Amino acid sequence: MSGETSTASVNKKKIGLALGVGTVRGFAHIGVLKALQEENIPVDYLAGSSMGAIVAGMYSAGVPVEELERIAKSFHVGKVANPSFKKSGLLDGEKIEKFLNKHIGHTSFDQLRIPLSVVCTDICTGDEIILADGSLKKALRASASFPGLFSPMHYAGRILVDGGLVNPVPASVVAGMGADIIIAVSVMRNVKQYIEYVLKKRNKHSFTQEHEKALSTANLIKLRKPSIVGLFRSLRKKTWTPNLVDILLQTVYIAEERIARSELLNVRVDILITPDFGDVAMFEFSKTDEIIARGKKETESKIPRLKELLEK
């Protein structure tokens, strides 16, 4: 009997879960973990960028899904954001560190119950930096340092910021960790959805057919210059003008989506989970319940396929 158990353990397929960027939409990752837990499907490897790193890090450190959900539902931006007088970011990262310290303390990577890789960006070189040893708190703080918004993290001789700049949905990272089955979770909204949402939110103008064409999925995938240039020319004709934060966020969203699409086309992904969050703003914490529920529901729809892969 023990021989059979040992063989099953040796032959078990390893699941790697890549959790992507997404600010408040990243709480959907909790719903993903919740759905997998309810089906008794274990995660063997975790990788995360930005908010995905925060959720993955806390979970791998032993924070139960139920506790993650409770934390998310009581969360507000004031818990991690405080004005900074530094030139490197509008907000300091001190509160993020206090938040992480409260929930994971001085946990190091070698104490984690699930192997974890945290993706960061070296803002000086543009290199993808994968942290998998040392202080978990510092690694998560670095990966969540949204450029221009939060001040960067000085760590191991580097200046690190949000991992989403180089790998928004780190499927390639869990693949490199040895996963047999790769699950990637992307909670990014596309450019078209974001601008439509902003215009609607501010009770301004809706898009014309010309705008729809410029922002078509095909054009976004190809990122044809005339379409992008035409988009911003047409936006300038509107009464709404993006402010500094709008421009900063949109610039990063465009870059991250382009990188994510390219990465996911070049990496084997067995299960891609993509909840729709076109109507959720960056810091819209009032929708946390709904966000978690959407993540769980989308994952549940993928469970039959995942079980097929596990049984092959």
Return the beta strands (E) in 133-245 as ranges: 148-150, 153-155, 158-162, 181-185
Residue 213: burial class (beta carbons within 10 Å; 0-12, 13-18, 19+): middle
DSSP state for residue 108 in the 8-state scheme: B
Give catalytic status of residue 84 as yes or no.
no
Specify the DSSP class assigned to residue 127: -
Q: Which of 44, 92, 122, 162 is catalytic?
A: 162
CA 192 – CA 72 distance, rounded (Å)? 27
Is 246 in the active site? no
Distances 126 to 57, 122, 154, 193 between C-alpha atoms, Å: 23, 5, 15, 28
Amino acid at position 301, single letter: S
Of 44, 49, 50, 145, the active-site residue reads: 50
Residues known to be catalytic: 50, 162
